[in-house]
Chains A and B, each alone.
Chain A
């Protein structure tokens, strides 16, 4: 019986941890973050410059644009270095500058939006695993209670099941901390797109 109290508390904690993630937004039951899920970004919320509707994927045809996008989209490139690289590239006549700005922004938006979708998909995958694990811990704790409640309970079985629950809980807790950390990444990517969009517009004006 000595495990019963501890595992009951554990079960309550695990249930409480899983519940808010499930309840946050009924449209996205697997979304584990406090931050609301915005599935897709729109260029209109980031970009005040000329329309990029006619650019499509054509920015990838120019190796110079492709290289610049790879450089400025990378998180390791400091923002001021990215701004300088943008200003150095967006030069020429007004028409040339406009075309370059459109292609660079389209490249930044496509690249970083794809990264953001990948991170968000990963978060939902881990979140589903976490919910499955919570269900398993719940079932194991119930099994343990059932065994402990019997007279002449099998102590070896209790010990094995007990350490399994402890192990699962540790994994659960580690994953939860990782999820919380990764939940900030989509926002960090949005900040990057927004900052680069501003720098491109500044170079254009």
Chain B
């Protein structure tokens, strides 16, 4: 009886431990590497050599690969997650920076910074499947939860382009503040949030009417407005809180999604860029480009609880499902 009880506890502890250990892949733009962080020990367990200037990074839906956009090599590399080595490439356009996948995981939509296009890639065939002309310097990419609208932001045109993925054409464009960097839908698809790096705001767009319904502004006590440059946006799966990375302000703003009010600013690392939640929603990891580290935010406590040193100029993070 006792033996069974002890074994039961041991098993529960073991499974509990395993359940929280996710893998975070961090693209280091300057050192041309990807750091693999174990979220149980909060340590870098492997550093993977990749192509030049790795930035956008994400898992494939089947979790077999981590894709990383290597801008200066004009390609997307595929890291095999069973061996943690680069095992193939996908053909993007010139200078790929960021990408998003179709909800079924079959197609990849890639923003190519240098030729004003979004390239569509068939992941299984590892081949291009078309392209959509967008504004100058395309960057942010987001797919609506229902998969019907693809968003691309163009840094120089200052617009969020609404793309019909079936027709492969821009069906609407919404003007936002200067240098839009990133786009994210709320989980229910009712709002589209677009960050403007130079404008210093996040535009909240009604995706049905396709108009900006509110702009969120940021102010940190004792700081001039110029370093406040919003980039990454991550919204909790329950749709209650949004975290906005404020670049060289070194802070992440926590915003109440319902009221659009900032409720807290968290000091993380220097030049905070893109972020990723652990799948259980307990932690948010932030890539800090100048301090060359990743901050770990406890989402419930709204507190930075750990810092992990990675490679040079960490840009973005891909998080495993399990």
A178 to chain B, nearest CB (A): 20
A37-45, A81-89, A129-137, A146-154: which one contacts chain B?
A37-45
If A38-B248, A45-B250 touch, whether A187 touches B223 (CB-CB below 8 Å) is: no
Hey, which chain A residues are within 8 Å of B290, CB to CB?
187, 190-191, 194
**Does A42 contact B267, Cβ atoms closer than 8 Å?**
no
**A44–B265 alpha-carbon span in the complex (Å):** 11
- Chain A residues 171 to 205 lying within 8 A of chain B, measured CB to CB, are 187, 190-191, 194-195, 198
- Complex contact B224–A190 (CB within 8 A): no
Interface residues of B in 216-272 (CB under 8 A from A): 220-224, 226-227, 248-251, 267, 269-270
Cβ of A54 < 8 Å from any Cβ of B?
A: no
Q: Tell me, in angstroms, the Cα distance from A44 to B249 when the chains sit together.
A: 8
Report the interface size class on chain A: 10 to 19
Contacting pair B291 A45 (CB below 8 A) = no
Q: Which residues of A contact B227 (CB under 8 A)?
A: 38, 42, 45
**B291–A194 contact, CB under 8 A?**
yes
**Which B residues are CB-close (under 8 A) to A48?**
267
- Chain B residues near A195 (CB-CB < 8 A): 291
Could you tell me how many residues of chain B have their Cβ less than 8 Å away from some Cβ of chain A?
A: 18
Complex CA gap A194/B270 in Å reads 8
A152 to chain B minimum Cβ distance, whole angstroms, is 51
B312 to chain A, nearest CB (A): 11
The reply to whether A191 and B291 form a contact with Cβ atoms under 8 Å apart is yes
Closest to A47 in B: B267
Contact B250 A194 (CB under 8 A): yes
Chain A residue at minimum C-beta to C-beta distance from B268 = A48
Closest partner residue, chain A, to B220 (CB atom): A44
Contact of B223 with A190 in the complex, beta carbons under 8 Å: no
Cβ of A31 to closest chain B Cβ, rounded Å: 14
Q: How far is the CB of A128 from chain B (nearest CB, A)?
A: 24
Of the listed residues A191, A194, A195, the one surrounded by the most CB atoms of chain B closer than 10 A to its CB is A194
- B306 to chain A: closest CB distance in Å? 12
Quick check: B223 and A42 within 8 Å, CB to CB?
Answer: yes
Which residues on A sit within 8 Å (CB–CB) of B292? Answer: 191
Q: What is the distance, in angstroms, from B38's C-beta to the closest C-beta of chain A?
A: 22
Contacts of A21 in B (CB 8 A): none
CB distance from A183 to the nearest CB of B (A): 14
CB proximity to A under 8 Å, residues B181-221: 220-221
In the assembly, what is the distance between CA of A46 and CA of B270, in Å? 8
Q: What chain A residues lie within 8 Å of B226 (beta carbons)?
A: 38
Task: Return B54 CB to nearest CB of chain A, in Å.
Answer: 19
B222 touches A46 (CB 8 A): no
A contact set with B: CB distance below 8 Å = 38, 40, 42-48, 187, 190-191, 194-195, 198
11 A-B pairs with CB atoms under 8 Å apart are: A40-B224, A44-B221, A44-B222, A45-B248, A46-B250, A47-B267, A190-B270, A191-B270, A191-B290, A191-B291, A191-B292
B residues lining the A interface (CB < 8 Å): 220-224, 226-227, 248-251, 267, 269-270, 290-292, 307
Given A45-B250, A194-B290, 12 other A-B residues pairs in contact with their CB atoms under 8 A:
A38-B226, A38-B227, A40-B224, A44-B221, A44-B222, A45-B220, A45-B227, A45-B249, A46-B250, A47-B267, A191-B270, A191-B290
Top 9 nearest A-B pairs (CB, nearest first) are: A44-B222, A44-B223, A48-B267, A42-B223, A45-B250, A194-B270, A44-B220, A194-B291, A45-B249
